[in-house]
Amino acid sequence: MTRALIVIDVQNDFCPGGALAVPGGDDIVAGINALMADYDAVVLTQDWHPTGHSSFASSHNGKAPYEMIDMPYGPQVLWPDHCVQGTEGAAFHADLNTNRADMIVRKGYRPAIDSYSAFFENDHETPTGLEGYLRTRGITDLTMAGLATDFCVNFSAVDAAKLGFNVTVQTDLCRAIDLDGSLVAAQSGMTGAGVTLA
């Protein structure tokens, strides 16, 4: 009982028609569902922003989506409003098998800090609690799938590797935003951190 599947942010706003749609984001749902039976544990992450979150471009006068700003914790991409708590956009894709999840980790709910990783807020210090959950269950090997490859999957995979987990990213069950070369940079960073790209 040492293997977990971590499913990152398969939510309506990241799928076609959503506020921050990742191209082909819904294409991976069936494949992710099919993988779930192969794992001892399944964890879903869910972007869960309050209205007016500091990472939204709409919260900054004169700023447009995808501009960069400096926040107290470092550089921050400004996003379209997305995955607002309780909205249909924040809900999991209707076809995702949420019944198989042992745990759902909500992230990005603190108004002043964004959270890409399933393990830490974007200050790289404030934990989400997922590490402790996995350790107490004796899980050592993680496979990650979901959205988006170059942001939340990337940050989650690198953090997990730094924490000492054996990490594989199932790239065929991920899709990327690819913002100004972010996909290639993420792939390089993951490989450099010891993550296996399958």
Among this protein's residues, is 152 annotated catalytic?
Answer: yes
Residue 9 annotated to the active site:
yes
> Could you tell me the CA-to-CA distances from 176 to 22, 78, 127, 136 in Å, in that order?
6, 17, 25, 32
Task: Catalytic residue, from 26, 47, 83, 152: name it.
Answer: 152
Is the CB of residue 128 less than 8 Å from the CB of residue 121? yes
Give the torsion sign (CA, 85, 93, 152, 76).
Answer: negative
CA distance 105 to 98: 12
Peptide bond into 145 cis (omega under 30): no
Catalytic residue from among 13, 81, 107, 174: 107
Residues serving a catalytic function are 9, 107, 152
